[in-house]
Amino acid sequence: MRLTIIGSGYVGLVAAACFAELGHQIICVDNDQQKIELLRAGEVPIYEEFLPELLAKHRGRRLRFTTELTEALANCAAVFIAVGTPATEQGEADMSCVEEVSRAIARSLDGYKVVVEKSTVPVLTHDWVRKVMLMNGAPPGSFDVASNPEFLREGSAVRDFLYPDRIVLGVGNERSSEVLHQIYEPLASGRYYQDASRVPGPAEPRIPPIIVTSPKSAELIKHASNAFLATKVSFINAVANVCEAVGADIQQVCEGMGTDSRIGRKFLNPGIGYGGSCFPKDLVAFHAVARECGYDFPLLEEVSRVNREQLRRFVRRVKGALWTLRGKKLAVLGLSFKGGTDDMRESPALGVVELLLYEGCEIRAYDPAAMEHARRLLPAQVGYAANPYEAATGADALLILNDWKEFATMELERLRKVMAYPIVVDGRNLYDPAAMSAAGFTYYSIGRPAVLAERKVEAVPVGDIAVSPHPHYRLGDIVAPSAAWNPQSPQSQ
């Protein structure tokens, strides 16, 4: 089938490459001329496992790139909207790109098409897309609007797309439903999983169920799913804080809770809080849309509050580990919002680094994929290293801020030898405290008692140590994230 994808970011580009992998003819459109030139030249603008291989395999054959929407829409069966929907200053989803694209599609229609929302959008957006298209000359009957939310995770996006838990199709009629079923047929029939050259996945892949809903239910499924996952993260972080207060071990609590099949082990990972381009903005957008519909949903506000507080607790923990911060040399491992991606949007690591700089620390950071972005976002005084050991050389402490595999498998002996003081403050619980203690480290983690080399110490009373307010990073305000570290804001370019 001929498909058009508008927006070549983390979602659009992955969707385009994966649809090409499923046998479709894809044209990918973006209004960022530079990005399109880069893609045409064979480069890959984002870090994502298997994406370079898929782009190389299909570029110029089943996959083309353009900035020209009209040309891209010619003869396609469906057009997927995958542009950004960032948060406005008020916390609502900014739908201006979706509106702009809807207008442009309306003016370029050359026959019946299904217009598919792939971007995460507030409930009832499909109605707006339809109205905007009609107002811009699209003949009624020449299109349908459907919702096909995307659940991929950065870091494993290609695999998530090709081996999804489920495919949600929010459709208003048979005609659009039929087109979307055909598009996903290679997955829903299991045909793709018989292909010997498929992207590596489970040995015996499970055929994903297709869940057909109304467009508004599909829109809600995406917002509600992200809000629920963010709630799970904040919940376990709050439990970790109770563990710290009583000296219990959050990992044991997670095992005990997670083996209950009603709860599940996934997303029960305490840390420094969630970030990324989805959870923070989708949570506030869902809150805003619920409020607009007449329901306040205060639970969502509390989830955001716990998340903000978690980052501040971590900085207090660092202060608790080091007594004073001014002039301390800190190695920071991990800058993207999680391992496996170069995406720095709403990364809690940025907030931590900014607060520590404000406290007068010297920072030398390392991240396997995000340092290029970080240089543009963080103040110039942050230093960068080529690997974890270089970052740690001469450091008073080492902080782990995201969960790249590389950080969980460091040579501990080598690490300890290069550090000025063998202190590790682990914001992702990547190590076993006993092993760190045996390796000669004083080790602090989340929701577990701190350990000295070979012996336990009392839990650090993190609540007693104040951190100065920071002028850029407005800790009390998630609704309008600070321009200083919001990559979507023009000030940070």
Ligand X SMILES: NC(=O)c1ccc[n+]([C@@H]2O[C@H](COP(=O)([O-])OP(=O)(O)OC[C@H]3O[C@@H](n4cnc5c(N)ncnc54)[C@H](O)[C@@H]3O)[C@@H](O)[C@H]2O)c1
Say whether residue 6 binds ligand X (CB under 6 A).
Answer: yes
From the CB of 75, what's the least distance to ligand X, in Å? Answer: 19
Find out whether 124 and 219 touch, Cβ atoms under 8 Å. Answer: yes
Rg over alpha carbons for the chain, rounded to the nearest Å, is: 24
Our finding on whether 28 is near ligand X (CB under 6 A) is no
* Residue among 337 and 384 whose Cβ is closer to ligand X: 337
Which position among 18, 76, 243, 278 bears the catalytic label?
278
**Which residues lie closer than 8 Å to 489 by C-beta, 6 or more apart?**
483
Asked if 101 touches ligand X (CB under 6 A), the answer is yes
| Contact with ligand X (CB under 6 A) among 82, 162, 167, 344 | 82
Per CB under 6 A, does 427 bind ligand X? no
From candidates 277, 304, 310, 482, binder to ligand X by CB under 6 A:
277
- The answer to whether the Cα torsion of 257, 280, 146, 58 is positive or negative is negative
209: DSSP letter: P
Closer by beta carbon to ligand X, 90 or else 194: 90
Residue 9 is a binding residue for ligand X (CB under 6 A): yes
Work out how close the CB of 429 gets to ligand X at its nearest, in angstroms, rounded to a whole number. Answer: 23
55 forms part of the interface with ligand X (CB under 6 A)? no
3-class SS string, 166-179? CEEEECCCHHHHHH
* Alpha-carbon gap, residue 191 to 122, rounded angstroms: 33
The C-alpha atoms of residue 357 and residue 361 are separated, in whole angstroms, by: 5
Number of residues that bind ligand X (CB under 6 A): 26
Helix (H, G, I), strand (E, B), or coil: what is residue 6? strand
Structure tokens at 183: 């598009």
Considering the complex, what minimum distance in angstroms separates the CB of residue 64 from ligand X?
15
Listed ranges 25-33, 175-183, 413-421, 427-435: which one lies at the site for ligand X (CB under 6 A) = 25-33
Bridge partners (DSSP) listed for residue 398: 331, 424
| Sole window of 95-103, 450-458, 460-468, 478-486 interacting with ligand X (rule: CB under 6 A) | 95-103
Q: Taking CB under 6 A as the rule, does residue 85 contact ligand X?
A: yes
Beta-strand relationship, 451-452 and 455-456: antiparallel
Question: What is the pairing mode between strands 78-81 and 2-6?
Answer: parallel
**Distance separating alpha carbons of residues 417 and 470, to the nearest angstrom:** 34
224 counts as binding ligand X under rule CB under 6 A: no
**Residue 217 interacting with ligand X (CB under 6 A):** no
Q: Give the residue with the Cβ less far from ligand X, 241 or 402.
A: 402
Binding flags for ligand X, 278-297, as an x/- string (CB under 6 A)? x-------------------
- The distance of closest approach from Cβ of residue 171 to ligand X in the complex, given in angstroms and rounded to an integer, is 19
Least distance (Å) between residue 301 CB and ligand X: 20
Contacts of 311 (CB under 8 A, 6+ apart): 272, 273, 348, 351, 352, 355, 475
Burial class for 153, CB neighbours closer than 10 Å (0-12, 13-18, 19+): middle
User: Residues 104-123 vs ligand X: string with x where CB under 6 A?
Assistant: ---------------xx---
Contact between 148 and ligand X per CB under 6 A? no
8/336 with CB nearer ligand X: 8
Least separation in angstroms between CB 31 and ligand X: 4
Q: Which of 20, 28, 78, 83 binds ligand X (CB under 6 A)?
A: 83
Does 12 sit near ligand X (CB under 6 A)?
yes
Q: Can you tell me which of 21, 154, 342, 362 binds ligand X, judged by CB under 6 A?
A: 154
Structure tokens at 244: 């710290």
Residue of minimal CB distance from ligand X?
9
| Residues between 29 and 48 that touch ligand X (CB under 6 A) | 29-32, 35
Is the Cβ–Cβ distance between 93 and 117 less than 8 Å? no
Can you point out the beta strands (E) in 194-248?
Answer: 210-213
Residue whose token pair is 């694209």: 101
Which among 23-31, 174-182, 251-259, 460-468 is the span making contact with ligand X, rule CB under 6 A? 23-31
Locate tokens 């870090």: which residue? Answer: 47
Residue whose pair of structure tokens reads 């994502």 in the numeric block: 48
Considering beta carbons, is residue 72 or 356 the nearer one to ligand X?
72
Spell 457-487 as b/e; 16+ CB within 10 A means b: eebbebeeeebeebeebbbeebbebbebbbb
Is residue 278 annotated as part of the catalytic site, yes or no?
yes
| Catalytic machinery residues | 278
Enumerate binding residues for ligand X (CB under 6 A): 6-12, 29-32, 35, 82-85, 97, 100-101, 119-120, 150, 152, 154, 277-278
